[in-house]
Amino acid sequence: MTSLMTAPSTHRRRRGRAGWWKTATGLLLTTVMLFPVYWMLNVSFTRDQDMRKSPPDWFPVHGTLDGYRAVLDQQLPYLATSLVIGLGTVVLTVALSAPAGYALAKLRPRGGGVIGFLFLVAQMIPGIIMAMGFYAIYLSLGLLQSVPGLIVADSTLAVPFAVLIFTAFMSGIPGELLQAAKTDGAGALRTFWYVVLPMSRNAVVTVSLFAFLWSWSDFVFASTLANGGAHEPITLGIYQYIGNNNQEWNAIMATAVVASLPATVILVLAQRYVAAGVTAGAVKD
Amino acid sequence: MNRTTQLPDRRPVRERKGAAATAASPRARTATRRRPRSQQWAAWAFLAPVTVYLALFYAYPLYRNVDLSLRNYTVRSFVQGNAPFTGLQNYRTVFDDPAFGPALMHTVVFTAVCLFFQYAIGLALAVFFNQHFRLSATLRALFLVPWLLPLIVSASTWSWMLNSDSGVVNSALHAFGIDPVNWLTSPSWSLTSVIIANIWIGVPFNLVVLHSGLQSIPRSLYEAAALDGAGAWRRFRHITFPLLRPVSAITLLLGLVYTLKVFDIIWIMTKGGPADSSTTFATWSYRLGFGNLLPAFGPGAAVGNLLVVAALVLGLVYLRVQRKQYAS
């Protein structure tokens, strides 16, 4: 901070030392923040007999894989269901919102603004309200405890976000390009499929990532619409583990670790899409 | 998201990109109105699926919910669909319920305390990570982890950490000579516990959004202030904070909307208990509708609709705030 006031010769050295302090502080803060994540990992490797030890082991010194064995034995069907539902949600979300984004951004229909506004409001509705409405509807349609039903419900978490992302992204595509396609005789559909969509690859990736994550993490819809069915997602798998007054916390935490894998993989492989997705909405530059 | 789980809406982006192109001149806007009719048809053809979707999967569930709250539903009439219309009876039941006052208070306290700490911690971290040092970007990315984890994972991890007998938190307190706290099983602590967990989940969102807000503040301002002899605190107070106000307003408003509807965390950690000590409107609504053997769909929907009204009001405030910012 004071470096501007000091002589240029000491400038660099001071900054270097201050930089180290900052890195150390940053590491400390990150450690504190991520401690619960570490603790989840630690408990997932802890043996049953050490689980209630006081004080607890800070490192899995007598590590065991029992928890993960339990995951393999009991949780695979749940994980598979979640995977199917997640992928289904991604497909449905992109299929619905990419054309809508194109229309709102480039074709500008009369009344399009109203649709945009409705999606903004739709995002603010608490999930629990949606769940109750869906429950009433699915009950009469016989869609309770079904995979397609859950895919549709989960997609409501992502579609408003997706429409707004696609609209924002596609407004950036130069109009001359679309005009050129038109001059070449391409209709709106061909233009969309061969020009707009390939150019919107980044938006598709961002939308898909979040649609998958939200559907994978969903608990509200799962617990209201899929509870007790043949196909339950992993969030319910964990919930029932806890609910059964299960004392095998290593198995619970091992399931939690496995359930966190998609988020981790996405953060590692696609960090810039994640950051773009988080900030795009709230910041005006 | 969810929770605080769900992301902010994307409107600003769209406005931002669109604003430069069209909104600036009214003439451009009228020009788009006079697009050829065939394009209007094409546009609505592309919008048709999502419009139908909006009607079927947002409007209709909402309508069903209003309908639920205005009728006297039992399990039988829920299936048969011939429940008698009772007007505002369900709402009266809810208002007269002794649980109403505490639930309202818990909702307000939960929302206010979470918002305050998420924002304050998020801002402090954003300012810190806005400096250039080694690993700054990597560490900032790692901070996103709590926000990306499924809520059930975070909630169950915190449950075990806060466990009275074997939790690591009490064990750490013990090391400092503090008596163990019944975090989740004592009525005086349960609300605090879920607030702590929710703050942990919400900080990353605030950090990332505020950090990108900070980056749009020109560095030259700080350099000029430093030359004038302003210290770090004064620079924060007179440059960072005022210039960050638009971003802060949006962040807090979105945080408000998402905190108000937090359900998963509380339900998984305490189920709103013990003795309703951590019940908010969201968990109360769920318990009325799904938590009992005999569901009370009517009152459950009524509580939920109170939340919807709150969300709608906040949505309108959000739009106003944004419009004001773009006007200025």
Q: Are residues A182 and A261 in the same domain?
A: yes
pLDDT at B20: 35
Of B14, B157, B174, the CB nearest to A171: B14
CA dist B257 and B308 (Å) reads 10
pLDDT at B19: 34
Q: Are residues A192 and A110 in the same domain?
A: yes
Of B13, B58, B65, the CB nearest to A156: B58
pLDDT digits (tens, 9 = 90+) for A154-198: 999 889 888 888 888 888 888 888 888 888 888 888 888 988 888
Q: Are residues A22 and A95 in the same domain?
A: no
CA dist B133 and A20 (Å) reads 8
**Is A29 a domain residue?**
yes
Q: CB–CB of A231/A25 below 8 Å?
A: no
A36-75 residues touching B, CB cutoff 8 A: 36-37, 39-40, 43, 51-56
Q: Are residues A93 and A27 in the same domain?
A: no
**Is A272 a domain residue?**
yes
Cα B13–chain centre separation: 19
**Is A151 a domain residue?**
yes
**Is A53 a domain residue?**
no
Selected residue with higher pLDDT from B278 and A271 = B278
pLDDT at A279: 66
pLDDT at A49: 79
Q: Are residues A30 and A108 in the same domain?
A: no
State whether B166 and A53 contact (CB < 8 Å).
Answer: yes
Could you tell me the CA-to-CA distances from A69 to A120, A239, A250, B128 in Å, in that order?
44, 18, 10, 42
Selected residue with higher pLDDT from A155 and B11 = A155
Please give the torsion angle defined by the CA atoms of residues B123, B127, B128 and B134, in that order, rounded to the nearest 10 degrees: 130
Average the pLDDT over B134-153 and give the result.
Answer: 88
pLDDT digits (tens, 9 = 90+) for A113-126: 788 778 777 877 88
**Percent of chain B scoring above 70 in pLDDT:** 86
Q: Are residues A31 and A141 in the same domain?
A: no
**Is A155 a domain residue?**
yes
pLDDT above 80: residue B28: no
**Is A285 a domain residue?**
no
Amino acid at B150: P
Q: Are residues A140 and A192 in the same domain?
A: yes
pLDDT at A8: 43
Does residue B309 sit in helix, strand or coil? helix
Selected residue with higher pLDDT from B22 and A248 = A248
Q: How far is A88 from chain B (nearest CA, A)?
A: 16
pLDDT at B105: 92
Q: Are residues A19 and A138 in the same domain?
A: no
State whether B152 and A39 contact (CB < 8 Å).
Answer: no
Q: CB–CB of A242/B267 below 8 Å?
A: no
Q: CB–CB of B282/B244 below 8 Å?
A: no
pLDDT above 80: residue B234: yes
CA dist B231 and B236 (Å) reads 9
Residue A166 sits in a domain whose CATH number is: 1.10.3720.10
Does residue A245 sit in helix, strand or coil? coil
Q: Are residues A272 and A167 in the same domain?
A: yes
Q: CB–CB of B306/B281 below 8 Å?
A: yes
Q: Are residues A156 and A240 in the same domain?
A: yes
Q: Any chain B CB within 8 A of the CB of A4?
A: yes
CA dist A232 and A234 (Å) reads 7
Residues 6 or more apart whose Cβ sits within 8 Å of residue B242? none
| Sequential DSSP letters for A217-232 | H--HHIIIIITTSSS-
Mean of the per-residue pLDDT values of chain B: 81
CA dist A15 and A223 (Å) reads 53
**pTM for this one?**
0.83
pLDDT at A245: 63
CA dist A98 and A106 (Å) reads 12
A55 CB neighbours in chain B (<8 A) are 171, 174-175
pLDDT above 80: residue B318: no
Q: How far is A132 from chain B (nearest CA, A)?
A: 7
Number of structural domains found in chain A: 2
Q: Of A77, A79, A35, nearest to A256 (Cα)? A: A79
pLDDT at B276: 86
CA dist A119 and A106 (Å) reads 18
H or E element, residue A134: helix A127-141
Average the pLDDT over B139-148 and give the result.
Answer: 88
Q: Are residues A183 and A269 in the same domain?
A: yes
Q: Identify the band that residue A33 occupies on the pLDDT scale cut at 50, 70 and 90.
A: very high
Range of the domain at A202: 66-279
pLDDT at B114: 95
Q: Are residues A103 and A6 in the same domain?
A: no
pLDDT at B35: 59
**Is A46 a domain residue?**
no
State whether B35 and A171 contact (CB < 8 Å).
Answer: no
Domains and CATH numbers, chain B: 45-87 (no CATH), 90-327 (1.10.3720.10)
φ, ψ at B185 (rounded to 5°): -105, -5
**Is A14 a domain residue?**
yes
Of A123, A168, A284, the CB nearest to B325: A284
Q: CB–CB of B61/A127 below 8 Å?
A: no
pLDDT digits (tens, 9 = 90+) for A217-247: 999 999 888 887 788 899 998 888 887 766 7
